[in-house]
Amino acid sequence: MPIAERDYWNDNRYRPKSKKAPKWSWSVIVFILLALFASGLPMKIYNEITIQQEQEIRSYLQEREQYFSSSDQSFKQLMTKLNASNGNLSSLTLDINETDMMLTQNYQKLINLDPPHDFKELHNKTIELYVIKQAAVDYLVSSANANTYHSEILSTYIEESNRKMSELRPLMIEGLQKADLRYRIEQDGTLTYWVKDHYSRSLE
């Protein structure tokens, strides 16, 4: 007697039955979610993450400003003395070497910083400015040793340095906007920004 073939795939008797999740399990999940939101835990976690990110931004900007300001001040002082000496480098050897050392040290510190994502363009442009200033000082060092100083060559470095400097402020503002940090442009042109150190507090 022939054995009848059976279609096991289409026969519901042989197909695995899907199990529905008990209705009470969904109720428990909804209750837990409502309890979490009622406790404010998700918002607290979000605030903590935001505070940490803003603190990292403030730390970076403060360190950058420290290295940038000291180098910029040293460079400007050297240029002022150079103009007063009418290009006589022999009397400025010590100042040139000090500025050279200052730029080199601060440049190394700057490139070792890890900028927040929203301030990477500012960071890279600051490094470019450092390179130009370092090139200007290197030229003064070599010119002092070989007595081959030409003011027009230094002027090209100064012009490029000023151009790079003018690009930093817009990038700073752009970074603050991307990071969603509150800031204000003061009457003297300086920037004041605020970061959170607690849920309802902010620091400049």
**Banded pLDDT at 190 (limits 50, 70, 90):** confident
In a domain, 6, yes or no: no
In a domain, 121, yes or no: yes
Range of the structural domain that residue 173 is part of: 53-203
Count: domains in the chain: 1
20-79 pLDDT per residue, tens: 555 556 665 665 556 555 655 555 655 566 677 888 999 999 999 999 999 999 999 999
Alpha-carbon distance of 144 to 97, in angstroms, equals 10
DSSP labels, 7-74: -TTT-GGGSPPPPPPPHHHHHHHHHHHHHHHHHTHHHHHHHHHHHHHHHHHHHHHHHHHHHHHHHHHH
In a domain, 183, yes or no: yes
SS3 state of residue 86? coil
In a domain, 169, yes or no: yes
Alpha-carbon distance of 181 to 189, in angstroms, equals 18
In a domain, 20, yes or no: no
pTM of the entire predicted model: 0.73
